Each structure stands twice: as C-alpha cells, then as structure tokens.
Chains A and B, each alone.
Chain A
Amino acid sequence: MASLNSALSVAVHSLDAATGALQVTNNNIANANTPGYTRQVVILQEAAPTVQDGLSTGNGVVLEGYQSVRDELVQTQIQQETQAQSGANAQLASLQQIQPTFTTSSEDIGTQMSALFSSISTLSTDPTNSASQQAVLSAGQNLATAFNTASNALTSQQDGLNTQVTQDVSQINQLTKQIAALNQPLADLKAEGQDGGTVEDQQNQLVLQLSALTSVAVTQSNNGVTLTTGSGTPLVMGSQSYALQTTASSTGTQQVLDQSGNNITTSLTGGDLGGSIQTRDTTISGLLNQLDTLANQFGTAMNAVQTSGFDLNGNAGKNFFTIPTTVAGSAASIKMAITDPSMIASSSDGSAGSNGNLANFSAVETSKLPSGQTPGNAYADLVYQVGSLTSNANAESTATAASLLQLNDQLSSVSGVSIDEESANLITYQQAYEAAARVVTTIQALFTVTMSMGTASAE
C-alpha cells in the first residue's frame, strides 16, 4: 500500500530529475557557442512500479543520466570536407600570390618580349643608330629580368610552402599526441557504460583540426579512436601516438617521414599539408618547368640568330643571352651575355650597316620553338595554366565552403544548441521542480496532520 514515505520518495526523485534536467539545460546554454560542443539531453525514465495486493503503483521518475546527441556520419563527412577545403585553400593561397606575375602589366614576360622585338624592329630601320642598339640591350635585359622575377615568384612560393610543411607536421604531431591522450579516459567512460560527453567532444574537435592539416582515416572502437593517414601510416593507436618527421631532401625541399623513417611525402593528400605538398611538388614545379623551358628555348633561339650574324665591327656575333646548359633554372639565371651595344649582330654579311640578321631576330617571335609553340603562345599557355589552376582552386574552395556550411547546418540540427529550445526547456523543468516541491510541502503538511492525530489540538 502506498505510504506518505513512498510518496515523499517519489517527490524527491522528481526534484532530482528536475534539477538534473535544469543542469543539462544550463550546461547547454553555457556551451551554446563553444566550438565542437555537442548538446546533451537528460535521460529520464519511469521508476519500476510497486505491486502490492494486486495494485501497481507508479514510483515516479528516475534520472538515468545524460546523453550527447551525436551523428557520427555527418561528423565524418565534415572531417572529409574540411580536408578538401584546407587542401584547396592551401593551393589557392599560393596561386593567388603567383598570379600577379603572370597578369598582363608593363613588366610581365609577354609585354617585355614584345618590347624586345619592337626595339629590334626599330633598330632594323637604322641599324647603326647607337640609341636604338642600346634600346635593344635594355629591352633584352628587361625581358631577362621579367623571367628572373617570374621564376623567383614561383620558387619563393615553394620556399614558403617548405616552411608550411614543417609547421603542419609539427602541428599534426601535437594534435595526435593530444588525441591519443584522450583515448584512455574515453575508453574508461565507455567501459562504465557512460556517454563520452565532453571528452568525446574534445577529441572530435581535435580530429577536426587534424583533418584541416591532412587527410586521416578515423576508426572508432571501444579503446577510443584509431587514426591513420589516408595512405595507412599510423598516427594514433590507443593511447600511443606516432610522430611524423621532416627532413630536407638534396634539393632543399622538406620531405615527410613516418615514425620508422620511410618517406611518405607523395602519399600525403588533403588538408593544408597535402595541399601544400601538391602545390609545391606538382603545381608550381610544373609551372616552373614550363617557364624554364620557355626561357631556355627562347634564349637558345636568340643566341642561334646572334651567332649567325656579325656585329657592328664585323666580328661574328657572340651569344645574346647567357643561359645554363640544363633547362632547370634557366628562367632564374637567364641574363644578357652582351653589354656593348655594338656587339648586337645586326649584320648578315659583316658590313656595319647591314640589317639582314635583324630580320632573323624578328622571325624568332613568329617561329616555333622546339616545344612546338611560338614564344608568345608558349607564354600565353603559361598564363592560361596559372589562371586555370587558380580558378579551379578557387572554385573548389568555394564549393567545399558551401558544402561544409551545409554539413555544419546538418550537424548543428542534430547536435547544436538552440537557445529558444533551451529557454522553453528551462521553463518546463522549472515548473516541474516547482510542482515537485509543492508535493513535498503537501506531504509535509499531511505528516503534520498525521502526527497530531489524537492530541488535544486535534479535532
């Protein structure tokens, strides 16, 4: 049979449940803007009823615990999208800095190349004019400088990316260490059948930060999270983290090594690290090779013309440009080989005023280089490459940003804190608490009545 004591016990449980629910609401409101916070809900359950004399009496509510509302699938998608976005952003940042060098201006290679041919054309109308000869030398020097500047813009980006690789690896190591450290507490909580809660939030947030750096494969287990790089190099297993290392290659580029010293640079994809490596080793390397090829073949073609003619003093022409024997580094080191205006080989027959060889110089502009393109088209192709790569990186960055926003909306629709909702909950639980308290007061009054039964005052 129900007693006042058992009724009081039900009311106390009600107070506990309401307090617990208020606590959760309070915590949700407090963390509404905390990155990575997953909203919690209170788990209330009916207490087992008491059955006596065939009567089943409800025993009130039991506060079972708290549960974080997670969506592991969306969480994983966010990690993957973050990798893609950071990778695209790393490319975009570099390419945007490279792009101005290849934008038509008074100093770009295309303009300077035209200026050189214009100065040669002017010289052809008066081949012994020393001002015109000097103009050809200056234009040649300006073109060489434009090549040097463009090459420098590319290599300095590569240098910057080397630093980025080192920094990324050190951040990755720090993050994997922190993630590994959280695995044990998480495993302990789960062993006790509890929700991972705050610890899991923290760990997810760290994995997300790691995703921004490189692509990682995440496996959840009872022992916590296991992380490997996209290509399978272990990063975190249980409470153990495996640090990556960097080392400079013979050419000075930073290579990434795994714990055992194997070079895993080429297998790293995604994230800032993957994006930086790809930009450094593929994108910029490709552009640099195109630029070097152009500088080398153009220089060689000009030299061939210059050495087939005669200078103002009737001597056989010497090289116009100094270029290295190998293609690599040609754009960086191309420079004028002649400094004396009279050494321009204008003459085709050795007589001082002949301009026969200048037509051969002019022909370089419209003739195909060994690459199969005219110098102007080869440069236009390079401009196209830079523009297209930048535009693609930009498009990818924009697309991933939109998709990431969508995913975050999806996640926050599951795990996010709604202030309005929490405000409503607050009122609900406040009223529940008040009602339970009222029950306690009532029972107390009943106790008083009961205690005073049979005394004088009782009537």
Chain B
Amino acid sequence: MRVTNMVPDMQYDMQQSQQALAVAEQQVATGLRVNQPSDDPAAAANMVTSLAESARVDRYTSNASSMLSQMQMADSAISGVETTLNSAITTGTSGANGTNNAADRQGLATQVQGFLSSIISQANTSYQGTYVFGGAASTTPPFVAASTTYTSAHGSTASPLTTTTPLTAGSVTTISDATTGETMTFKAAAGDTIATLQAAVASAVSAGTLSSGATATINAGGQLAIATNSAADGIVVNSDDSVLGPMTAASGTEVANAYAYVGNSTVNTVQVGDSMSVSTNIPGNQLFTSGPNVIGALNGLISALQNGTTEQIGAATTAVSAASTYVSQLRVPLDNTMSQLNSQESYLSQETVTLTTHQTALVGANLADAATSLSQAEIDNQATLASAAKVMPETLLNYLQQG
C-alpha cells in the first residue's frame, strides 16, 4: 500500500494511547474501576441496589442499637420494680404477723407507700425523653397522681359555660380512671356541645370504663367540673379544647396512693431486619394496672395495713406476690427480644461486611492490576510519542540537501 502521510495515523495512535493512560490514571487515583455508569452499566446498576441494601442494613443496625438501649432501660426499670415488690412482700408478711400493734402496722403502711411511689417513678422511666412505659403516648409521664375533681380553666360566674356551649371540633378530652385503670377518650365532632361530653361520660360509666358516679357538670363557678363521687376514686383529665381551656385538678381533691395511667395501649414496632420487627415498648397499663394489678395490689396492702385484719393483710400480700410473678413473666419476652436484638446486631455487622466486599468487587479497581495497567499505559504512551518524534521529520528532502 502506498503511504503518503503518516500524521493522521500517528495522531490517532497518540490519542488512543493518551486515552488509555487517562483511564489507567483515573482507576489508580479513585481506586474505582467503575467511575460512571458507562464504564460498566451492569455493575453500576447492581451498585445502586447494593448501596440501597447497605443503607437498609445501616438503618436496621442503628434501630437495633437504639432499641437495645431503650429495652435495657426498660428491663432495669422492671427489675427495679420486682425488687421493690419483693420488699413489699416482706413488709406485708411481717405486717400479717399478729404480734404487730396498730402503730407498727401504720409504720409498715407508710413503708409500702414509699415502695409504691418508688414503683411509680420506675414506671415513669424515660429514655432520651421518651417514657418507655407510656405506650405510644411517650412524651408525658404515663402515671399521674389522680384527684376526684378536675375543673376547666374557662367559664366563670359572669360568663358560665352551659350544656349548650359548643366544643371545638376535633378537640380531644381524655378521662383516665385510676380505679378502673381505663381511659375514656372523647373526640369532639362538629356540632358537639358540653351536653354531648356529659352523655359520653355517662355512657363510659355504664360501660365500666369510668368508676360509677363519675359525672361532668357545670359547677357553681360556671366551669366544667369532671368528678367522681367517691373520695377513693381518682381520675386524671386532659383536654386540648380551646373552649374549655386546660383541665386542672381541684386543689385538695387528690386521692392518696391513686395513680391514673394516661398513656395508651399502643405497641409500636420497629424494623430491625427485612422481615424482623420488634416491639419497642410494653404499655404501662399492661404492666402495672392490668392482670394482677401492681398498683392495685400495693394499694390493697396499704389499706389492709392501715385498717385491715391480719387475714386481710395476708391476702393483700398474696396479691402483691401474684403481681410480682406477673411482672416477672412480662419480663421474659422483653429479655428474649433483647437477645434477638443482640444476635441481629452481629448478623447485620456480618451483612455489612458481605455487602462492602460485594461492592468492592463490583466497582472497585484491583490496585495491583490498576498500577500495572498504569505503568504499561505510560510505557505505551512514551513509545508512541518517541516513534512519532522519530518518524515525523524524516523526508527525502533532508537527504537531498545533504547530497
């Protein structure tokens, strides 16, 4: 073949060699074989799904670790409750001993009252601002000292609230009863008035949610008063209705040793694996006010010590002991979950390693290969340039001039 001009070929060769050098340099500099999707479309696409998988594993790991801390907090609180209940059982047992006189029993009753308030403070344990036994209502302490009467901030003798006063649609009023351990929730619909609330309270009483005799009335001061009719039945009322204003306990109506659960019974779950979720909480009502009722049992023991017979104290002590067993039983699933979380954490960290290895294999450059390619590309490039430099000046004219 007749060769007339080698420059275009040399330029092409130089271009190719430069490109190869640039690619090799980029692989060494970034440590990546795939720097953009076109370098390896399939690997780039796999990388997208693999990174999403990594992000999922990361968030499961972080959930598992924060759940674990929260559960440890709950577990130690429950363990504290168990210890306290055991002390109460000891106190009750010694109270049932016929040798004690009334003053001794009174002293023991005071001791048990101390145990009760210690248990309440454990039930109100919070982890990073979240009350762990409040159910889903985790921003406020779940156990609140109860009173017999709550009154609304709004309403006065001059401008009294009436049964026809309309409530704010969408507002929520809750009445938590310490005796029944249940909560009545009233959500005002459009057109609802105080009379509607009164009717709701009445039907909650007949349904057994509230203690019998609980009523909502307009008091002499023109305020809404929600009250029980027994000095032993305590309630806690909350309302966000702007017509009523905040509900507060009437002074001097506090019921001794009565605590209402203002949390809810919602159990939240958090995902810690593609197909693994754990419950994040044990609602306080399940733990302390239902079944062999912890608070109720202690209350029973206090009143038995204060006024009861030896037999009554014995029975009350047995009830506390049943409550203690119940709490211990509830602790078992919690401990199981914690051990599940621990093993899930190690599985997830294993998974992270696997995914990272996979990702490196997908888009990472083998550094030894990359470095070799780079030096090879350098040599090639030098050779290309050197040969071009040698060939380009060669023409017949050079020799003719010499001749």
The residues of A with any CB-CB pair to B shorter than 8 Å are 32, 39, 95, 99-100, 102-104, 110-111, 113-115, 117-118, 121-122, 124-129, 313-315, 347, 349, 351-356, 359, 362, 365-366, 376-377, 379-381, 383-388, 390-391, 394, 401-402, 405, 408-410, 412-414, 416-421, 423-424, 427
Contacts and interface: CB of A to CB of B under 8 A. Distances in A.
B190 interface: no
A353 B264 contact: yes
Contact of B12 (A122, A384, A405): A405
Interface string B32-43: 000111111110
Contacts of B49: 376-377, 380
Contacts of B2: 413-414, 416, 418
Interface stretch (B55-63, B333-341, B365-373): B55-63
A283 to B, nearest CB: 13
A418 B5 contact: yes
Nearest to B172: A314
Given A102-B37, A352-B137, A383 B266 contact: no
Given A409-B9, A420-B396, A118 B3 contact: no
Nearest to A385: B41
Interface in B1-18: 1-5, 8-9, 12
A124 B55 contact: no
Contact of B139 (A100, A124, A128, A384): A128
A103 B51 CA distance: 12
Contacts of B129: 129
Given A114-B52, A352-B137, A355-B269, A125 B67 contact: yes
Contact of B38 (A126, A356, A390): A390
B378 to A, nearest CB: 21
Given A121-B62, A351-B264, 7 more contacts: A104-B47, A353-B266, A359-B269, A377-B49, A387-B37, A387-B41, A416-B5
B37 A355 contact: no
Nearest to A418: B4
Identify which of B42, B45, B137, B280 gathers the most chain A CB atoms within 10 Å of its CB: B45
A381 B137 contact: no
A128 to B, nearest CB: 5
Contacts of A379: 48
29 contacts: A32-B5, A103-B35, A111-B51, A124-B268, A125-B67, A314-B172, A315-B170, A347-B136, A353-B135, A353-B268, A365-B56, A380-B45, A383-B45, A383-B48, A384-B41, A384-B45, A386-B38, A387-B36, A387-B37, A391-B41, A412-B4, A413-B1, A416-B5, A417-B4, A418-B3, A419-B395, A419-B397, A420-B395, A423-B395
